[in-house]
Structures are given as structure tokens and as C-alpha cells.
Amino acid sequence: MAHIIIHEVGIRDGLQIEKDIVPTDRKLDWIAKLAASGVDMIQVGSFVNPAKVPQMADTDELFRQLAAAPQRPGLIYTGLVLNEKGLERGMACGVEYFCMGVSASETHSRKNTGMTTADATDRIIAMGRQAADAGKGVQVSVQSAFGCGFDGHIPLDRVLGIVRRYADAGLTAVSLADSSGHADPDQVEEMVNAVQAIGASIGITCHFHNTFGMGLANVYASFRAGVRTFETGFGGLGGCPFVAMAAGNVCTEDVIHMFHRANLRRDIDLGAIVSVTKDAAAFFNKPLPGTIHRTGPIFHPGRFAAPTND
């Protein structure tokens, strides 16, 4: 079985909608704990206008400090960019892996970027090629791939058209993002199968939100369909500020617990992630939507083999 990869996006997607600004030192502490847990990738922030998303105003500083500190071998820090200025900022502060994307929803695209989907696709492909030519890792996404609170149903062919354009440009690490949480397991399986049919070179990541309570079921459906990379957020925090009904990411510790129950990725330290969630709940002074940080994990001695790196 191919290695499962966990891309922890809570520091970016989880925090961007919160009004209480998390100090840089606290973010660095959370990043250090998440890194120590054994997750594979951590999204440090986004290079956006701080007036529109104040929580991300310290993204450049975070990357500079992380670049100067010791790093766990194999860990990848990622940064989100929406435009050329963001890409320029990311290059300047040492980002090695860029995430960027296009919304399949016209309304979401205009609210998020001020551009049509077609114009945004042209722009993102050019940016992706620029980053790749500079030797950086690049992941491109299709946001609102499974539906939109503004535009409702998003035709599958519309999503596949964007993916084909990415693939034709040599951008083959593709995230299918359920920005509004509309996905259901059958739809997930259908879309994953259709994207896989475009070409074997495409590496699919899935990014689910739990708006309607189906996030974990959708992770499992995509896993069964062959996806091995998942974007998740500690505590279930998060939500895009520019969707009709923002809700949290599928919760990292809940996803890890599910894989632990399947005897997979037991090398990831669930307790380290839970400690970040509990600290975040105390900082924001509110209960967070995830489950395992409240209930604790299920563990039956003797059922599991020794931890593995599967």
C-alpha cells in the first residue's frame, strides 16, 4: 500500500477565519509540535493582503524563522499564493513548496480572487510553471470542486477541464478541494476515478470541509478510491472567508485516529496533535469542532501490531 501523506493546513486554513490574531511565537510553537507529531507537510500561511486576512500578516516572518531553525528530515513546509505578488513574496522568504489554485465556481472565484475561473486558470498555470522552473514544488488545486454555496452543483466536466489544463502544463500534483463541504462519498469516488482516468501522472490530494458532517466519510471514500494524500486541519478549525457558509476542515486528529484504527500511519503521534488543538481551544476560548481531542482515542490492547510507517 502506498504511503499515506498528511498535509496539515490548520495554521493557514484553520486560522485564517479567526478574528483573534494568534501571535507569531505561538504559531511557531504549534508548528513545532505538529512537526514533532510526524505529519508530512505543514501549510505555514498564505501570502495574501493582510488587510483582508489579518491572521496571515506574519506569513513571511514565519517562513524566515523556520528557514533559520533546524528542520525534521523529510518535513515540507508549504505556502499558499493567489497571485504573482504572493509568489514573489514567497520566493523572497524561502518557500520551497507552493500551493495555488482555481475555483470551479464562478461566483467563488470572483469573490476570492476578483477573476473569472478562465482568467484565474491562465494566471495560476503561468505562476505554477514559474515556480516549477525555479525548482520549487508546486501543487495546484480545484477549489469548490464538489459544489458551491453560491453556485450549487458544479458539473464534473468543469472540474475535469481544469485538471486537464493543469496536466497539459506539466502541473500534476492536484488537490481536489471541497471548499463548501458539499461532497458526499459517492460523488468523491466518481470524481477521483474520473481524474485518475486523465492520466497516471496525476497525483491527487483531497481537501474536505465538514460543513454538513461528511468530512471523515469523504476522506475514507477517497482513500478507498486510491487517494493517499489528505489536507486536514487540527481541531477541525477553518473555513474560507469567501464562501457562503464557512466551516472547519476535516479534523487532523480524527483522520489520524481513523487510520490508526486501520493500523495505518501509526507512526504519527496523535497526542502531539491533540495538544495543539487543546491549546488552540484555550487561546480562542471556545470548543473546537473535532472529536478525538474531547473523547480520547479508542485503543484495544492486543488488536494492533507494532507501529508501522505504512
Report the distance separating Cα 27 and Cα 42, nearest Å: 12
Helix and strand element counts for the chain (H, E): 11, 8
84-92 vs 59-67: helix axis angle to the nearest 10?
30
- Is residue 216 a contact partner of residue 254, using CB atoms and an 8 Å limit? yes
- Would the CA dihedral through 184, 185, 190, 195 be positive or negative? positive
Picking from 135, 139, 57, 63, the residue whose alpha carbon sits closest to that of residue 100 is 139
Q: Which of 228, 227, 226, 208 lies closest to 217 in space, CA to CA? A: 208
Cα–Cα nearest to 109, from 72, 60, 160, 144: 144
With beta carbons less than 8 A apart as the criterion, state whether 48 and 82 touch: yes
Catalytic pick from 93, 206, 240, 251?
240
C-alpha torsion angle, residues 73, 274, 4, 250 (rounded to 10): -130
309: Cα separation from own chain's centroid: 21
Which residue in this structure is represented by grid cell 518557500? 95
How far separated are the first and last CA of the chain, in Å rounded? Answer: 7
Measured torsion, CA atoms of residues 35, 36, 39, 42, in degrees rounded to the nearest 10: -10
Whole-angstrom Cα distance, residue 59 to residue 37? 22
The letter for the amino acid at 219 is V
Can 240 be counted among the known catalytic residues? yes
Catalytic residue annotation: 240
